């Protein structure tokens, strides 16, 4: 009977959301640098945001974590705007292979880049 | 020891963990989320009906991360919001009541997340000032354009802190403290707290370990508007 109570306690605690687990993603300074870029868009704040995206990828790979959704794509977009199409496409491909949900959108972008080359 | 005791134990724990109001399960409240099982969410630029004009851009930077941690594929907001602008969608309000299938067609998004900044302001009272951030959030299907999930998150913060009293000096000190705190207030911190009030009620997505296992999780029911 005591086990049953203990189980109930555990069950209820888990479902009321107090379980601590290893976080799913490492976002590094994502929200800080994103916010700084929105507050004041300049070459400097954009470069900092781009650096953060690169750091997220490096840190995630080091910890064998999945790179958070959209990070590869966003970095690819920076390269696209800097007219480095090949690098852009390689990041869009990485987004696709990490997240099948992105295939449709990434293929659309890749096709667009290729027809404009 | 009987079943009754077990129920009592559960209730006490639930009460202690702070869910005292009307509780419903996620499945009861949002059955369509479990029927449609969206995997990807396109975050729309926030609709801003608050008095703070700059709230839209600032709030927008706080939405992606919690949705991703809730297990969904989130499209890169900085990029998609620019593309939406290029496509002539400057204001999400314009598409809110329209068929949403084009977002599936263009982005491949299973569902769209609308956020509305209802309040993002400081109200000055004589001896105090409160900061309120209130967000309405809603997930709509790109298949049916119907609402799959909807919730509100509101936080009210007393910016004056512990108003130490003490006659005129205390009063002036209080006013000064208010001015300083208000100027220094980084609203995104409070926006994240407001997000925290609703994010947990979203049935988790495919990248979360509890995917399709959280139907019986209890959440606080919100009054229908």
Looking at the complex, does the CB of residue A8 fall below 8 Å from at least one CB of chain B?
yes
DSSP A40-94: S--HHHHHHHHHHHHHHHHHHHHTT-PPPTTHHHHHHHHHHHTT-HHHHHHHHHH
More confident residue, B143 or B180: B143
The pLDDT of residue A99 is 98
Whether B68 sits inside 8 A of A12 (CB atoms) is no
Residue A3 DSSP SS3? helix
Q: Residue range A74-81: average pLDDT?
A: 97
Residue B146 DSSP SS3? coil
Average pLDDT, chain A: 89
Q: Residue range A7-16: average pLDDT?
A: 57
Whether A69 sits inside 8 A of B216 (CB atoms) is no
Domain edges within chain A: 25-116
- Tens digits of residue pLDDT in B51-104: 888 899 999 999 999 999 999 999 999 999 999 999 999 889 999 999 999 999
Let me know if domain A25-116 sits in CATH 3.30.1360: no
The pLDDT of residue A9 is 57
Average pLDDT, chain B: 85
Distance to chain B for A27, nearest Cα, Å: 8
Whether A70 sits inside 8 A of B107 (CB atoms) is no
CATH architecture of residue range(s) B29-118+133-153+188-203: 3-Layer(aba) Sandwich (3.40)
The pLDDT of residue B185 is 44
The pLDDT of residue B17 is 57
Whether A69 sits inside 8 A of B217 (CB atoms) is no
Residue A2 has pLDDT above 70, yes or no: no
- Per the CB < 8 A criterion, the answer to whether B67 and B43 are in contact is yes
Whether A70 sits inside 8 A of B75 (CB atoms) is yes
Whether A34 sits inside 8 A of B61 (CB atoms) is yes
- Tens digits of residue pLDDT in A20-66: 567 899 999 999 999 999 989 999 999 999 999 999 999 999 999 99
- Per the CB < 8 A criterion, the answer to whether A85 and A113 are in contact is yes
Q: Residue range B32-49: average pLDDT?
A: 97
Looking at the complex, does the CB of residue A31 fall below 8 Å from at least one CB of chain B?
yes
The pLDDT of residue B183 is 40
Residue B182 has pLDDT above 60, yes or no: no
Residue A105 has pLDDT above 90, yes or no: yes
- Per the CB < 8 A criterion, the answer to whether B53 and B183 are in contact is no
- Per the CB < 8 A criterion, the answer to whether B202 and B183 are in contact is no
Q: What is the C-alpha to C-alpha distance for residues B112 and B103, in angstroms, rounded to an integer?
A: 8
If contacts are CB pairs under 8 Å, which of residues 62-101 in chain A contact chain B? 66, 68-71, 73-74, 77, 99, 101
Report residue B164's pLDDT band, with 50, 70 and 90 as the boundaries: very low
Distance to chain B for A15, nearest Cα, Å: 6
Q: Bridge partners of B121? A: B132
If contacts are CB pairs under 8 Å, which of residues 110-139 in chain B contact chain A? 110
């Amino acid at each position: 009977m005591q086990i049953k109570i203990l189980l109930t306690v555990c069950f209820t605690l888990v479902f009321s959301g107090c379980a601590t687990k290893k976080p799913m993603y490492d976002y590094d300074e994502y929200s800080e640098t994103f916010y700084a870029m929105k507050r004041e868009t300049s070459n400097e704040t954009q470069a900092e945001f781009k650096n953060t995206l690169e750091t997220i990828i490096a840190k995630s790979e080091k910890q064998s974590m999945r790179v958070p959704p959209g990070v590869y794509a966003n970095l690819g977009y920076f390269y696209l705007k800097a007219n480095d199409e090949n690098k852009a496409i390689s990041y869009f491909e990485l987004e696709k292979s990490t997240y099948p949900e992105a295939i449709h959108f990434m293929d659309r972008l890749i096709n667009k880049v290729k027809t404009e080359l | 020891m009987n079943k009754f005791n077990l129920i009592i134990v559960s209730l006490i724990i639930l009460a202690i963990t702070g869910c005292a109001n009307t509780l419903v399960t996620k499945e009861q409240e949002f059955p369509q989320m479990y029927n449609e099982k969206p995997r990807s969410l396109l975050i729309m630029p926030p609709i801003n009906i608050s008095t703070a004009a700059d709230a839209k851009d600032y709030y927008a930077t706080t939405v992606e991360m919690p949705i991703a941690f809730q297990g969904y594929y989130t499209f890169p907001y900085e990029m998609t919001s620019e593309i939406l602008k290029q496509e002539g969608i400057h204001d999400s309000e314009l598409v809110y009541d329209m068929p949403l299938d084009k977002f599936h067609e263009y982005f491949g998004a299973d569902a769209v997340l609308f956020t509305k900044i209802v309040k993002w302001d400081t109200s000055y009272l004589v001896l105090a000032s409160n900061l309120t951030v209130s967000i309405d959030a809603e997930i709509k299907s790109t298949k049916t354009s119907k609402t799959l999930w909807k919730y509100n998150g509101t936080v009210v913060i007393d910016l004056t802190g512990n108003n130490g009293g003490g006659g005129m000096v205390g009063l002036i000190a209080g006013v000064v403290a208010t001015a300083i705190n208000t100027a220094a207030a980084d609203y995104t911190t409070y926006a994240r707290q407001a997000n925290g009030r609703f994010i947990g009620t979203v049935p988790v997505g495919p990248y979360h370990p509890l995917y399709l296992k959280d139907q019986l999780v209890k959440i606080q029911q919100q009054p229908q508007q």
